[in-house]
Structure 1
Amino acid sequence: MHHLTGHRNIVELRGAYEDRHSVNLIMELCEGGELFDRIIARGHYSERAAALLCREMVSVVHSCHSMGVFHRDLKPENFLFLNNKEDSPLKATDFGLSVFFKHGEQFKDLVGSAYYVAPEVLKRHYGAEADIWSAGIILYILLSGVPPFWADHPWIREDGEAPDKPLDITVISRMKQFRAMNKLKKVALKIVAENLSEEEITGLKEMFRSLDTDNSGTITLEELRSGLPKLGTKISESEITQLMEAADVDGNGTIDYSEFVSATMHMNRLEKEDHILKAFEYFDKDHSGYITVDELEEALKKYDMGDDKTIKDIIAEVDTDHDGRINYQEFVAMMRNNSPEIVPNRRRMF
């Protein structure tokens, strides 16, 4: 890393200290978190925003290769933001798998991370061009919010089924986000999930099947308990129970397919106004353009959620103009986690 010191988009190594047991590296402090987390929060980036980030990533690759450094593990988790600002510089980190190379040199060791590794790496005959492939995968995810490959092509499936497919780590992140949502939004997302096309939930069906080991059409707590650790990520028993309770919107003790999709789908699905409108109309029974307290109570009682405290908490959170009801803009703001002031005005339909 000393070899790459000075590049604007590479985390600086400030010092190294060795004791009897270990070598301690002092790195530049990056307070803005991982690119991975921002993708999870946003769903996906606009072309302009993705282009700016891609420019920084490609600059890193070019600088590394020109200095004879092959990163070999480019992925969103290994890019950090210097600060929490929207225009924060992006910093490449984690050079643990990096090697020095000469032009034309080929490598055989199998390294890298699933989704981002180039095909030639899997064939154990590859060069520094594999970094460019990984950067391309990151760009695809920035633009779409999903990886380009799900290992579901017939050529790489066994007997028509993908064997022991590990659950995408983003699913746990989304389920944790879902757990923190208010009950109105959870039910609304369930309505959205029930109206999504197969193309809009590509990959989630396979994930659901991998967890539903008895093919019952629902996921039990035991199936969730045995399925989530396949990520290789440590998750406590209490967290698993909390995720189960959060995703089980109707409270029947299992997670059905629509509940799973509502808890794990990309939030960029909410950019399609038709989806949000259908959810709003589910609550707005009299088509007045507002969700009243009575309508909210009636809808949530179907899921054993319509108690006075829940209704009061939802109104307090969502009803930003304090008129005692929820209008469409307030509903959209809640669904997209923005304030009503920045939600585009929708033509009046009521």
Structure 2
Amino acid sequence: MGICKSKLRPHESKLSVVRRFSKLNIHQFYRFTQILGSGSFGTVKLAFSLEQERNGLQSKCYAVKSIDKRRIGQRLHLIQRELEILVQLDHPNIIRVYETYEDMRYYHFVMEYCRGGELFERIVRKGVFSERKCSILMKQLFSAVHYMHQQGVTHRDLKPENLMLASPDDDLDIRIIDFGLSKKYPPPQSANQGRSQVRTQTKVGTPIYVAPEVLQGKYSQTCDEWSLGCIMYVLLCGEPPFFSNNLKVLEEKIQNKDIQFNENSWQNISKEAKMLVIRLLDKNPKKRITCAQALSSPWILNQASAPPSRMESIPNNEQENEKAIQLLKTYGNISKLKKETLNILLNQLNETQIQSLRQQFEEFDKDNSGTISVKEMTQIMKKLGLNDTEKEMSELIKKLKFSNKNDGNLYGDLTIHYSEFMMALLNQQQYLNEERLWGLFKQFDIDNKNYITSLDVRRAFQRRGKQLSTVKVDTMFNEIRLNSQDKIDFQRFHDMMLADSLKTQDEDMQIPNISKMSTNNPQNLPYLNQPIGDFNFDI
């Protein structure tokens, strides 16, 4: 999460009335180890959950960003704004923020840890990507950026340094990070509205990946598609489409020079790949291809027809689809407290443990939009021989929504979002064994009283940036036939979590050993270095 120069807006420095930082001591919950990185305003450290370790579980790795209050001065509103954007976005290829804390000196953000490091470092270390691997990554990026744009978010600084690989074992699972320059506007009402909403804005971004209209100070969401075109170009040939060590010369090339494909670097690259790059790097933003259109381009479709990779959708499996439908229907009727607990569990599991569930999400998300629509659900139901109508599917999706308007996390559209789908599929006894349930119970019972009170529930939500009113807490307890003065012991918690959960014969998945972060440092590649000079950022 980056902090850039900005004209201070004192009226924006007030914290959101919805998201607040927990005042609990972060060191009560996380064990910090090595420093992963540092910047002008703080450090990022590798951390492990003490709660998971105390309860006999091998902790998932987390990245905790600690921002020094003394260094940020009156820029808190920038941090808060980036946080608000990040917690709104719910896509498997966008970095996740799990919890937030505050103490006398720091603001702490507990985030997803990407063990594979920056995409930039991978390019430097291993060189260019094959078309096959490049298409897999670009498909993920097109999906994630399309999703962002549908939510009204423009990233404005997409580049290999802001793309992280989830694992060092392969290059096929990516995360978009650093939303410090992002802008949030009302979501577009149509596909064309996003590109037509041109606004006068300050030049932002990283020079060699910035769109020509950004240099002119009037641009829309399509500036992100230009950056994706530059990234695709770099992945395939190892150098950017436009380069100069002089910033003014670089700007002139971006605005006026035609894209070129060096024969030595591009002779073995397909015409479909070159055509997609050309369409992404169209200097006319109104003619530039959108991410939604790129997902249907011949290059993406042809590459997707090759044998499936580890992170691509599994073949159609009617039995698994039927089970997923059953779990979605059940999830719509469970209590809010159980939904929140399943959310905590989702945040504790690593990519290996939820791999099959994520593949199931991708199987339902036919258009790769990052959400599952009523139409997609209805089509799957018809293939399974079920007669649920679109109206019934709409009612089902409404039941899945955990939040209400005051929570600041409402998905107003009638689609199933990633976390909703994943939490629904976690409602299986193979994920809810005794050991895990005890660990989840202790997520609320942080004082080791061996029971949970309404205050414990309120504090657990606060760690995740959500404020619960007395009415909301009363409602949660009433749903499980208690009042807010009652105490929830482990047996009642256990029974609540197993009620309506799906019984399966699968063995519980074990947490694999986590290797240490790679310490490889990037070498000096002149074509990927930035020219001297930078833009003034007005956020």
TM-score, with length taken from structure 2: 0.29
TM-score, with length taken from structure 1: 0.42
Which is bigger in relative contact order (C-alpha 8 A, separation at least 6)?
Answer: 2
